[in-house]
Every structure is written in structure tokens, then in C-alpha cells.
Structure 1
Amino acid sequence: MVDKPSDEPRSGSGEDPSIPDEVWEQFLKDHGSAPKEPSARARMVTERLRQQDARGESPEGWRTGPARQESAGRRRKVWAVLGVLVAAAVAVVAIKPSLLPGDPFGTGSPEPAAASPLPAETAAPTAPPSSADPQVPTLARPFAGSPAERWADGAAGIVLPKATPVGSLSKAQVEQALQQTRTLLTDANLNAATLRGQRPTTALGVIEPQQKDLLTRLNTSLKKPDRKHDPLLMFSRFDPAEIKLVGDVVKTRGRMTFKAGEQASVAVHADYTFVYPVVKADGSKEVTRTIVRRVLDIEMSDPAKYRVTPGRIAVVRYDQEIGNSACDVYDGYLHPHFDSDGPSGAPSGPTSDPYDRSKGIDDDRTEGCGTVSRV
């Protein structure tokens, strides 16, 4: 409340103390101490600016200048891009943690590079395969540490030479002899049923029926194996109650050749090594390998000149070398040795490399049970 001055003269003013009443009333209206109520338009403008400011829509020059607004927009864009990149990186690392240096999550060593496959064997090697990394075979990598890791899978390793006419036999007849030899090898050594000890019907079916002595001997060996009738001389077999194959891949390497034979025939020579990764059937996870090398000499004669069965092959020779299987056991099955089995007894024969294909199968062959230098 502002007091009205008295009519007495103010000390030292030197002015006329008289102020008209109407002047004083106008002064109070213009300069009174009580605040004035803002107009309706002012209130609307203030509220609109407040709402725009809350939504981040302040006009240029309202609390922020143009430079600050542009800078804030750039920061939002940069953080958005960084967020996408970080999310992508997290997703990749979650799928494959080994990409992080130093293996911070303890996922193990990085996956080894896949071994490049070897080209097909077209001639006898001049030396054994070099030593592979000393890795232990596992269920995930059953051929780790083996030269066979670079070999072909199964029947893909039995590559036929290009057929040409031989003597009185046409190209088609030579091709048939090669295909039947391949069928015999495949069913005898790669067929899952044969490997489980079942009868190799397809292999027996391509053999010349007139080879009665051979077929009788093979059939006897499958029914009642013994020292004189051993099916392992022709077929690869494991006792399913004792041994299980690891996966469905058997590694194969070798070659097949042909030339003109006697009695108007084509003579086929096959030399292949098969590597079988196995575990015990009791659920053990220890993996070992058995290596079987087979040599076959096959002939197919011209049926127009000799009394033979068209399309069948005659087995002239069949021989084998077996690495890592019990010796002097004639129950018709391969019996791999595992490290956990302990020593298998004092060997009575020399040590050999079952992967060495540089020598013939009869070179340095001796009687007795030898040992293998690697599996």
C-alpha cells in the first residue's frame, strides 16, 4: 500500500507541495505496487511455447540457437547408427564367439581350417604320406591326425579310368568290367549293412557263377568263419555288439587300371585303402581307426568266344592288409584296439605304416602279428 503524501512541503524539495487529486489517482493506476493480470492473448502465446518446448519443437531462437539444434540432431543420428552397428556385432558374436580375440568366453581354440582334398590317385605313390598333426580323433572329427582326413569320402574315392576297347571287347564291355569291379569293392567295404556283419549280397552277385569253388568258400566264411574260411579276406565287417562306426563316412583312396588279359579278356587291377573310424558299442566316446587295404585282380572274357556269363566278373586274386585289428582272431569280424585297452601283448611281427601305399601289398610280408606305426 502506497501512502498518500501529506500536504506539507517536503524538506529540501523547493517544489510546490500541492498535487491535484486526479493526477495522483492516475499515477496509482499506472505505477501501483499490485501486479497486473496478463492478457488472454499473452497467456495463449506462453502456453503454446511451453508445449512446443516440451515436445522439442521450440522455434529457432527459443532457448536454443540454430547451431545447438543442428548439433543435437547430428548427435541423435550418430547414436542411431552406432546402435545398429553394436546390435549387429553382438548378434555375430553370439552366433560365433570364437571371433572375439583371446577367447574371452572359454569356448576353446578356433576351429581348424578344413583340409584340402587330395586329387585322385593315378599312380603308385613314391613314399608314405607325411605325418599329420598329432591330433586325437574325436566324435566330431574322427579323422583328425590321420592322412585320410584329406582322402575322398566312400565310393567317391573309387574313380574309374576312362574305358577304351580292349582286344575283341568293346568300350562298353570294358566299362562294364570296371563298373562291376567298383560294385564289388563298394558293397564289400563301404555298404553299411556289410560293415554291420550282414551278407554282402550285391558283391557276391557280380562274381562269375562258374567260380563255384570261390563262391562256396566265401559263403562258408560268412556262415561259419574259421582260420581257413575268413570273410575278412574279401569283406570288411565289425561285430555290432562290440563296435559302432562313427558317422557315415569311410575314407577311401586308391586307383584302378586295366589292360588286355588272356582268353580274350580285359584284366582289371584295383588297389584301395579304406579307413574306418569306430567307437565301442558300450557308449564310450573314445575314437580309434582300423585301416584295410585291398588288392583285386579281375577279368571279364568275351562271351562271344568263351563260355562265360555276360556281365559277370571273375576274381583272379583277392588280398588284403589290415591295420589295427586283433591278430589271430577268426570269428569273421575286425577287432580294433583302443588306447584305453592297454597293451595288446608283445608283437611277433614288424611295425608297419598302414597308410603307406608306395609298396606292394606283398612287399616285406612276414608271418606273425605286427604293430602299426599310426592309426
Structure 2
Amino acid sequence: MADRPSEERSSGSGGEPSIPDDVWDKFLKETEAELAAAPKEPSARARMVTERLRQQDARGESPESWRAPARPERRRRIWPVLGVLLAAAVAVVAVKPSVIPGDPLGTKDHAAPSVSPLPAETVAPTAPPSPADSETPSFARPFAGSPAERWADGAAGIVLPKATPVGTLSKAQVEQALQQTRTLLVDGNLDPATLRGERPAAALGVIEPQQTELLTRLNTALAKPDEKHDPLSLFSRFDPAQIKLVGDVIKTRGRITFKAGEQSSVAVHADYTFVYPVARTDGSKEVTRTIVRRVLDIQMSDPARYKVTPGKITIRRYDRDVGNSACDVYDGYLHPGFASDTATGAPPTGPTTDPYDRSKGIDEGLTKGCGTVSRV
């Protein structure tokens, strides 16, 4: 701290005027503050230590305690970002769990594999369909292990050919004959009400009213079925008290063709196979399939030349072949067999056939007796 000038120096006559005490104290305080704020030059030892540490750090030899610590505020900012990314990843997995490699959630066990649908059938195949996978049908995959998995769904598989004029019948009349044939197939084999045993009114409504014998037989079969009056000859039905469909899809494959017929008519030929996945209504989870193939020959005559009902079709032939249904049961319902069923009665005496084989005619190789199917 600076010394104050002596009294003698400041008070003599002719000398410098004396400095008041309060002014001197203020000067000293301001001087001390400036000295404290002034930068201090490091000592020689401090400069030497700093230079040695700098050189070690350049060589990668600096001790960890000397290096500057990471800024904690930056590290804290990382966690909100990671939280957002983690939430987004969880959302993606919840919507599409298949993105996880290896399927740790086990979702693939219940998902149907991607299969390419077959093109529409336009001509008779030359061989039965190739064996499908060996999977067992289930509620999740009712067509697993069946070649029908690649077939069309329901009415979408009944594809009509392009109508053209035939004889004296116009294109519109031929188109009507094709549409009425389709109605007969759809209502008789795919309609949910028909399948649970109700009256197929739409199918019956397209039949020529003058076919009184056929209509009488069908009406009797629907009301009081027996061996001579079997509704299964033209319609597919299951007892709703015992059997239920699995899912809402019935697989369909076949074709419709037409040509000029006798008596100024168009002759329509239909050949279709329907595959029904079913289960018992008792709560069982076992699934099986019944396969029904139907062949129809339909005729529509020119009402201007013959005494027929305009817009109605005449059924000239109706055949069926059923795979996996009990034989010699005439209650008007299909009765599928399940793998868990206990064998009762006499063993089958007929041949073993492939119900999916559409390369042969429906009446080829038929013999008397109840046969078995090679696959369902």
C-alpha cells in the first residue's frame, strides 16, 4: 500500500497544496482494485509444467486427471433424443413386428405364407395339382396343406366367358344363360343361408318352371330328404347344429363354356370344385375340409321358336363327386370326417381318389362302394 506524503512536505509555505484525507483514501482504494484485476504472469515453474503436459498430451501420454472433463450439459441432451428414437422403434414394432430379425415375437407361426393365386381355369388340366405343404389346417390357416390355397375365393372363381351370339340367340340372350348358370352355382354352393340348410330360393328361381318333375324332386329333398330325394345332388349343405364353416372363404376352381345346342338353344357346360373348411360346433379346434365337385349341363332355348319361359334355364344334367363326407347318410347334409374320429362300421370298399384332381371327368373310374380320399 502506498505511503501518504509527509505533513511537512505538504504543509510548508510555497510548497504543493496538501491532499484531503477523503480524496487520498479514494485514490488508494481504486489503485488496489486495479492491481487485483490485472493479469498475473505465471511463474517460470508454472510455465515449465504447462509446457511438459502439453507435449505429453500431443504424444497421447497425458494423465486422465489432467484432461478436461466432458461437458455434462451436452451428455444430458442426448437422453431426450434417445428416448424419442426408442419410442419410434417401439411403435414400428407394434405395427409391424415382422421387421425384427428372427421373429422373436413368434408372429410367423400364425401368418399365412404369401402364395401366388392361380390364373383362371380355361381348359381341363392335364394332371392333378402338385402336393401342397404338409401343414395341418387351422382356424388361422384353414387351407394349409391344400392346393386350394392358391384357388380363387368364392364367387370370384366363377368367371364367365365373353358372350357371343349363338344361332338365333342374341349376345344378350347368351349372356343371360351364362348369368343364370352362375346364379345356380353361387346360390346352391356358396350362399351362407344355403350352406346352413336354408332353402336356396335364388337357385330354384332360375330353373325352367316347366321342369316340374325336377322341381318337385328338389322341393321334396329340401323338406324331407331321403335316399331317393337328396338335396346334396344339387346343393351343398351342412347341419348347423354339428358343423360350422371356418372363416368366410370357400375356395373355388373351374370353368364355364358354351356352344350351340339343339332346338335353337345355347348349351352351357359348368365344371366346378368347391372346398369347404369346417369345424365342429362343440368348441373343438380341429379343422378339416370337404371337397365337392359339380358338373352341370344347362340349356336355354329361343323363346321365339319354342314354348319355354324367357330367361329361364333347363337343367339337362347334374352330377357331383364329394370328398370327405360320410357315405350312406341321407339326412340332407354333408358329414365331414375328422382325423380324430374313431373308425366305426365297415371299412371303405371303394377306391382311393384325389378330390382335387380335375384332369379326369367326374364319372371316370367310378365304382360302387364308399371309397376314401388321398388328401383333404
Structure 1 length-normalised TM: 0.78
Q: Which residue number in structure 1 is paired with residue 235 of structure 2? A: 235
| 1:321 and 2:321 correspond | yes
Alpha-carbon distance change, 109 to 241 in structure 1, aligned in 2, over 3 angstroms: closer
Alpha-carbon distance change, 290 to 110 in structure 1, aligned in 2, over 3 angstroms: closer
Alpha-carbon distance change, 109 to 153 in structure 1, aligned in 2, over 3 angstroms: closer
Q: Which residue number in structure 1 is paired with residue 62 of structure 2? A: none
Say whether the 8 Å CA contact 1:103–1:109 is kept in structure 2: no
Taking the aligned partners of 1:246 and 1:106, their CA distance within structure 2 comes to: 23
| Matched AA of 2:372 | T
1:292-316 deviations in Å (ceiling 9; x for gaps)? 0000000000000000000000000
1:273-323 deviations in Å (ceiling 9; x for gaps)? 001111111121111110000000000000000000000000000000000
Alpha-carbon distance change, 114 to 211 in structure 1, aligned in 2, over 3 angstroms: same
1:238-290 deviations in Å (ceiling 9; x for gaps)? 11111111122111110000000000000000000001111111121111110
Q: What is the DSSP-based 3-state SS (H/G/I as helix, E as strand, rest coil) of the residue aligned with 2:156?
A: helix
Taking the aligned partners of 1:69 and 1:136, their CA distance within structure 2 comes to: 64
Alpha-carbon distance change, 110 to 98 in structure 1, aligned in 2, over 3 angstroms: farther
| Matched AA of 2:368 | E
- Structure 1 residue 116 displacement after superposition: 1.5
| 1:292 and 2:292 correspond | yes
Q: Which residue number in structure 1 is paired with residue 199 of structure 2? A: 199
Q: What is the DSSP-based 3-state SS (H/G/I as helix, E as strand, rest coil) of the residue aligned with 2:213?
A: helix
Alpha-carbon distance change, 204 to 104 in structure 1, aligned in 2, over 3 angstroms: closer
Say whether the 8 Å CA contact 1:98–1:110 is kept in structure 2: no
Q: Which residue number in structure 2 is paired with residue 349 of structure 1? A: 350
- Structure 1 residue 109 displacement after superposition: 3.7
- Structure 1 residue 202 displacement after superposition: 1.0
Alpha-carbon distance change, 318 to 245 in structure 1, aligned in 2, over 3 angstroms: same
| Matched AA of 1:147 | P
Q: What is the DSSP-based 3-state SS (H/G/I as helix, E as strand, rest coil) of the residue aligned with 1:356?
A: coil
Alpha-carbon distance change, 178 to 76 in structure 1, aligned in 2, over 3 angstroms: same
1:23-45 deviations in Å (ceiling 9; x for gaps)? xxx9xxx9xxxxxxx9xxx9xxx
Question: What's the RMSD between the two structures over aligned residues?
Answer: 2.9
Q: Which moved more, 1:243-252 or 1:266-275?
A: 243-252
Taking the aligned partners of 2:104 and 2:268, their CA distance within structure 1 comes to: 58
Taking the aligned partners of 1:71 and 1:166, their CA distance within structure 2 comes to: 90
Say whether the 8 Å CA contact 1:322–1:354 is kept in structure 2: yes
Alpha-carbon distance change, 340 to 70 in structure 1, aligned in 2, over 3 angstroms: same
Q: Which residue number in structure 2 is paired with residue 272 of structure 1? A: 272
- Structure 1 residue 228 displacement after superposition: 1.1
Alpha-carbon distance change, 307 to 113 in structure 1, aligned in 2, over 3 angstroms: same
Q: Which moved more, 1:331-340 or 1:79-88?
A: 79-88
| Matched AA of 2:306 | Y
Structure 1, gaps ≥5 residues long: 1-19, 31-37, 43-67
Taking the aligned partners of 1:369 and 1:168, their CA distance within structure 2 comes to: 46
- Structure 1 residue 102 displacement after superposition: 3.6
Alignment of 1:88-99 (within 5 A): 88-99=88-99
Structure 2, gaps ≥5 residues long: 1-5, 9-20, 26-32, 38-67
Q: Which residue number in structure 2 is paired with residue 133 of structure 1? A: 133
Q: What is the DSSP-based 3-state SS (H/G/I as helix, E as strand, rest coil) of the residue aligned with 1:307?
A: coil
1:182-240 deviations in Å (ceiling 9; x for gaps)? 00111110111110111111111110011111111111111111111111000101111
Q: Which residue number in structure 2 is paired with residue 33 of structure 1? A: none
Taking the aligned partners of 1:184 and 1:112, their CA distance within structure 2 comes to: 32
Q: What is the DSSP-based 3-state SS (H/G/I as helix, E as strand, rest coil) of the residue aligned with 2:254?
A: strand
Alpha-carbon distance change, 21 to 112 in structure 1, aligned in 2, over 3 angstroms: farther
Taking the aligned partners of 1:115 and 1:107, their CA distance within structure 2 comes to: 18
Q: What is the DSSP-based 3-state SS (H/G/I as helix, E as strand, rest coil) of the residue aligned with 2:169?
A: coil
Q: What is the DSSP-based 3-state SS (H/G/I as helix, E as strand, rest coil) of the residue aligned with 1:267?
A: strand
Q: Which residue number in structure 1 is paired with residue 157 of structure 2? A: 157
| 1:175 and 2:182 correspond | no
Taking the aligned partners of 2:233 and 2:374, their CA distance within structure 1 comes to: 22
Q: What is the DSSP-based 3-state SS (H/G/I as helix, E as strand, rest coil) of the residue aligned with 1:341?
A: coil
Q: Which residue number in structure 1 is paired with residue 281 of structure 2? A: 281
- Structure 1 residue 104 displacement after superposition: 3.7
Taking the aligned partners of 2:370 and 2:354, their CA distance within structure 1 comes to: 14
Say whether the 8 Å CA contact 1:225–1:331 is kept in structure 2: yes
Q: Which residue number in structure 2 is paired with residue 221 of structure 1? A: 221
Say whether the 8 Å CA contact 1:292–1:320 is kept in structure 2: yes
Taking the aligned partners of 2:318 and 2:91, their CA distance within structure 1 comes to: 57
| Matched AA of 2:292 | V
Taking the aligned partners of 1:373 and 1:102, their CA distance within structure 2 comes to: 36
Q: What is the DSSP-based 3-state SS (H/G/I as helix, E as strand, rest coil) of the residue aligned with 1:90?
A: helix
Q: Which moved more, 1:199-208 or 1:306-315?
A: 199-208
Alpha-carbon distance change, 261 to 130 in structure 1, aligned in 2, over 3 angstroms: same
Q: Which residue number in structure 2 is paired with residue 372 of structure 1? A: 373
- Structure 1 residue 340 displacement after superposition: 1.3
| Matched AA of 2:226 | D
Taking the aligned partners of 1:325 and 1:101, their CA distance within structure 2 comes to: 43
Q: What is the DSSP-based 3-state SS (H/G/I as helix, E as strand, rest coil) of the residue aligned with 2:294?
A: strand
Q: Which residue number in structure 1 is paired with residue 43 of structure 2? A: none
Give me the identity figure in percent.
Answer: 75
